[in-house]
Structure 1
Amino acid sequence: MVLMIEWSVTLAAIAFIFLVIFLILTLRKLMETIAETKETLTDARKSVTSITDEAEELIHEANKISDDVKGKMEAVDPLIESVHDVGDMLHDVTSSIKRTALKNENRKTIHTQDKEQNQPVRIKLK
């Protein structure tokens, strides 16, 4: 019986030694993984800092461009309004000519008199 107890204790000691060796190997691998993770996080922080700086510069440039475009649009607004007014005026003149042409008997030709040469001038409308 004593022999059996000795064998059991020996087997338990051997199993414990294998368990300790396995845990040591696992912990070493875990330490390597943690070191790589730390290195990766350090690189990631550097990259994020670099990207953040570039993004801030880009935002500042975009704001400058936006302000420049806004100023130029404000400078062009009076010109656009003037062109719009000219367009309205031309529309009114064209409408007036059309109305005058439709009032005449001959609706396809407008008869006017050239005062200098006393000859009629004809304008054909489509």
Structure 2
Amino acid sequence: MDLFIQIIIAVITVAFVILMFFLIQTIKALTATLDEVRSTVGELKNDVSQISGDVKEMIHHTNEMTLDVRTKLRSLDVVFATIHDIGQTLHSFTGVMKETAVGIVHNMKDKAKTKPEVYDEQANQANRKSSGNVTNALADGILSSVRIWRKLKQQ
């Protein structure tokens, strides 16, 4: 029986040695993996700090570009206001011209039907009246142009 116990102790010892060998191999592999993880984390710290610096710089440049674009858009406000004034002037001018033309045509038709000699006198009056409207429209246009010119000179 002593021999049997010695054989069992020897088998247990061999099994324990084999178990320890594989456990040591596993621990070595884990150590190598942990070293790689440490180096990767160190590299990531460097990369993250570099990227954060780049991001800060990019945000700064973006802010500068935004301010530049805002400034340029403000300068375009004057141009669009000028275009609006020109459009209003042209609209007034064409409205006056249209009314004048309609009035002249209407007066000509009415006078042509009634008396030819009266027609000539009233046509002259209508022409004088329409030239007054045209003159007013031209004056409005000139005033608007002067206002626009002053705004452009201020910029």
* Deviation, structure 1 residue 87: 1.2
The residue type paired with residue 26 of structure 1 is: T
1:67-111 deviations in Å (ceiling 9; x for gaps): 1111222222122111112112212323443444455259xxxxx
Counterpart residue number, 2:9? 9
The code of the aligned residue for 2:87 comes to G
Match of 1:45 in 2: 45
List 4+ stretches of structure 1 deviating above 2 A.
91-106
User: Which runs of no fewer than 5 residues in structure 1 stay unpaired?
Assistant: 107-112, 114-126
In 2, Cα distance between the equivalents of 1:94 and 1:41?
Answer: 75
TM-score w.r.t. length of structure 1: 0.74
Name the amino acid aligned to 1:72.
Answer: K
1:15-94 to structure 2, matched below 5 A, reads: 15-94=15-94
State how far apart, in whole Å, the 2-side matches of 1:37 and 1:57 are: 30
> What's the CA shift for 1:9?
1.0
Q: 1:49 offset after TM fit, Å? A: 0.9
Query: Could you tell me which residue of structure 2 aligns to residue 120 of structure 1?
Result: none
C-alpha separation between the residues in 2 aligned to 1:96 and 1:11?
119
Counterpart of 1:110?
A: none
What percent of counterpart residues are identical?
A: 31
Hey, what does 1:123 align to over in structure 2?
A: none
CA RMSD of aligned residues (A): 2.2
- Against the structure 1 CA distance between its residues 4 and 96, is the aligned structure 2 distance closer, same or farther, given a 3 Å change threshold? farther
In structure 2, what residue type is equivalent to 1:45? K
TM-score, normalised to structure 2, is 0.61
* Code of the aligned partner of 2:12: A
